[in-house]
Amino acid sequence: MATANTNLSNYDKSALPDASSFKLGIVVSEWNAEVTNGLLQGALKTLLDCGVLDHNISVHKVPGSFELIFGAKKLQTSGVDAVITIGCVVQGETKHFDYVCAGVTQGIKDLNINHSIPVIFCVLTDNNLQQSLDRSGGKYGNKGVEAAVTALKMIDFNRSI
């Protein structure tokens, strides 16, 4: 397991850019809310800790992970410097899991290819709910923290080019 020896909540604040002028949009799936709310809290806490001003963060909810693509596309044109997509898809008994995971992954990839505002992928695709809980504030930390740090680094990268 890739996160077995990794705490997703660890980051070196001194290695991150000054984020006081950064504007971020976050689009969050309401499906598996126990997980996505944990990821959102991790991302928000990290952004604020790293100097992003509260009024420069906008949070928008969509029904499920598949709808993250449309939400992110709308946010890319709203004046933000980056978009964080937060979702959770848990393996079930049908192929629905495969189709949703592939569609969301490809959709977010397409947004990154076709637009100049980075979209950060924070969509858990786990075999069971416990794995998702472990990565949304549980024993492996919080993937939302990792997504926030990635967003800050990508904004800095985008501004430097």
Count the alpha carbons within 13 Å of 130 in the hemisphere toward its beta carbon.
Answer: 0
Q: How confident is the model at residue 1 (pLDDT cuts 50, 70, 90)?
A: very low
Q: pLDDT at position 5, please?
A: 59
Q: Is residue 115 part of a domain?
A: yes
Residue 106 in domain: yes
pLDDT, tens digit, 9 for 90 and up, residues 113-136: 999 999 999 999 999 999 999 999
Options 55, 60, 96, 115, the catalytic residue: 96
118 is in which domain, residue-wise? 22-160
Residue 4 covered by a domain: no
DSSP string across 72-139: HHHHHTTT-SEEEEEEEEE--SSTHHHHHHHHHHHHHHHHHHH-SS-EEEEEEEESSHHHHHHTEEET
13 domain residue, yes or no: no
Of 63, 158, 61, 90, give the one whose Cα is nearest residue 119: 158
State which amino acid sits at residue 45: K
* Phi, psi (degrees; rounded to nearest 5) at 107: -65, -45
Q: Please say if 96 is a catalytic residue.
A: yes
For the entire predicted model, the pTM comes to: 0.94
- Whether 11 maps to a domain, the answer reads no
Give tens-digit pLDDT for 45-76: 999 999 999 999 999 999 999 999 999 999 99
Is 2 a domain residue? no
Contact 147, 24 (CB under 8 A): no
The pairing of strands 141-142 and 136-138 is antiparallel
Based on the structure, what is the number of domains in the chain? 1
CATH code: domain of residue 47:
3.40.50.960
Q: Is residue 9 part of a domain?
A: no
Q: Is residue 3 part of a domain?
A: no
